Amino acid sequence: MKNLNESKLKFIEETASLMEKKGFSPIVSRILSFLLIADTEEKSFYEIQESLNASKSAVSNGISLLLDKNFIKANTNPGDRKRYFRLNVETWIEVLKSITEEYKGYRMAIDKALELRSEKFTESNSQLTKIRDLYQLFETKLPVILSEWETKNSSQA
Residues that bind a second copy (CB under 8 A): 7-8, 11, 14-15, 18, 21, 23, 36-37, 39, 41, 86-87, 89, 92-93, 96, 105-106, 109, 112-113, 116-118, 121, 124, 126-128, 130-131, 133-134, 137-138, 141, 145-146, 148-149, 152-153, 157
Tell me whether residue 12 or residue 54 sits nearer to DNA (CB atom).
Answer: 54
Task: Please tell me whether residue 38 binds DNA under the rule CB under 7 A.
Answer: no
Q: Residue 143 contacts by C-beta under 8 Å, 6 or more apart in sequence?
A: 100
Q: Which helix (H) or strand (E) holds 152?
A: helix 122-156
- Which amino acid is located at 63 in the chain? I
152/155 Cα distance (integer angstroms): 5
101/66 Cα distance (integer angstroms): 22
Chain contacts with DNA (rule: CB under 7 A): 25-28, 44-46, 53-58, 60-64, 79, 81-83
